[in-house]
Amino acid sequence: MELDCVEGDRTAAMHDVPVAVPSAPTVDDQSVEVEVDVEDPAAMAHSANEATKNAAVGEKVKGQYFNVGPRYVNCKYVGEGAYGMVASAKDTVTGKSVAIKKISPFEHQTYCQRTLREIKILTRFRHENIIDIRDVLRAPTIDLMRDVYIVQCLMETDLYKLLKTQHLSNDHVCYFVYQTLRGLKYIHSANVLHRDLKPSNILLNTNCDLKICDFGLARIADPEHDHKGLLTEYVATRWYRAPEIMLNSKGYTKSIDVWSVGCILAEMFSNRPIFPGKHYLDQLNLILDVVGSPSAEDLKCIFNDKAREYLKNCAFRPKKPWQNLYPNADPAGLDLLDKMLTFNHNTRITVEDALAHPYLKTYYDPADEPVCEEPFTREMEYDDLPKEQLKRLIWDETQLLKHRIDSTSSMDI
- φ, ψ at 258 (rounded to 5°): -65, -40
Question: Which of 200, 199, 301 has the alpha carbon at shortest distance from 247?
Answer: 301
CA atoms 250, 314, 236, 270: torsion sign: positive
- Residues with Cβ within 8 Å of 294's Cβ and at least 6 positions away in sequence, in order, are 288, 302, 311, 343, 344
- Spatial separation of the C-alpha atoms in residues 167 and 46, rounded to whole Å: 54
pLDDT score recorded for residue 208:
97
Alpha-carbon span 183 to 64, nearest angstrom: 33
Q: Which among 387, 410, 395, 391 is positioned nearest to 140, based on CA atoms?
A: 395
Query: Is 196 a known active-site residue?
Result: yes
- Please determine, looking at this structure, whether the domain spanning 59-154+386-405 carries the CATH number 3.30.200.20: yes
Please state the pTM of the whole predicted model. Answer: 0.84
Task: Please state, as a whole number, how many other Cβ atoms lie within 10 Å of the Cβ of residue 154.
Answer: 22
CATH of domain 157-368: 1.10.510.10
Q: Apex CA 185: angle with CA 229 and CA 265, to 5°?
A: 95
Residues 6+ apart with CB under 8 A from 331: 323
The one catalytic residue among 147, 158, 171, 196? 196
Residue 296 one-letter amino acid:
A
Indicate the residue type of 61.
V
Q: What pLDDT does 13 receive?
A: 37
pLDDT for residue 7: 42
Angle formed at CA 115 by CA 112 and CA 118, multiple of 5 degrees:
150
Q: Does this chain's domain 59-154+386-405 share its CATH topology with 157-368?
A: no
Distance between CA atoms of residues 85 and 259, nearest Å: 29
125 and 190 in contact (C-beta within 8 Å)?
Answer: yes
β-pair type (84-91, 210-212): unpaired
187 by Cβ neighbours in 10 Å (0-12 / 13-18 / 19+) ranks as buried
pLDDT at position 236: 58
In whole angstroms, give the CA distance from residue 211 to residue 234.
Answer: 23
Residues at the binding site for ATP are 102
pLDDT along the chain (413 residues), means of 10: 40 41 34 34 42 59 92 94 88 96 93 92 96 95 96 96 97 98 98 96 97 93 55 66 84 91 99 95 95 93 90 94 98 99 96 98 97 85 83 95 76 50
Domain locations along the chain = 59-154+386-405, 157-368
Rounded to whole angstroms, the Cα distance separating 51 from 283 reads: 54
Nearest to 23, CA basis, from 147, 131, 164: 164
Residue 33's pLDDT is what? 30
